């Protein structure tokens, strides 16, 4: 799932569920967290931006395969 250049309230579709990102300051208080990490791309001086979705937003519980 590529979240590069994501915007507020943008919806992403994936095989498990529809993930709705509602990025804002209040999200952490509701157990919603999106962690951004910057890593160096080997052989260049550019940085790669990657996101780790800690909790599925607007979902009662983490998704699981049925």
Quick check: is 17 in a domain? yes
In a domain, 36, yes or no: yes
Whether residue 24 is contained in a domain is answered as yes
User: What does the chain come to in residues?
Assistant: 66
Is 38 a member of any domain? yes
Q: Could you give the number of structural domains in the chain?
A: 1
Contact 14, 27 (CB under 8 A): no
Give the Cα separation of 58 and 37 in Å (integer).
23
The answer to the question of residue 2 being in a domain is no
What are the structure tokens assigned to 18, written together? 């529809």
pLDDT digits (tens, 9 = 90+) for 6-57: 444 444 444 443 344 444 444 444 444 445 445 555 666 666 655 555 544 4
Tell me, yes or no, whether 60 lies in a domain: no
pTM: 0.18
Residue 62 lies in a domain: no
Residue 48 belongs to domain spanning: 10-53
- Classify residue 21: in a domain, yes or no: yes
């Amino acid at each position: 799932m590529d979240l590069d250049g994501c915007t507020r309230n943008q919806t992403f579709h994936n095989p498990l569920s529809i993930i709705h990102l509602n990025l804002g300051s209040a999200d952490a208080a509701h157990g919603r967290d999106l962690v951004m990490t910057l890593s160096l791309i080997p052989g260049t001086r550019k940085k790669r931006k990657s996101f780790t979705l800690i909790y599925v937003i607007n979902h009662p519980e983490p998704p699981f395969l049925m």
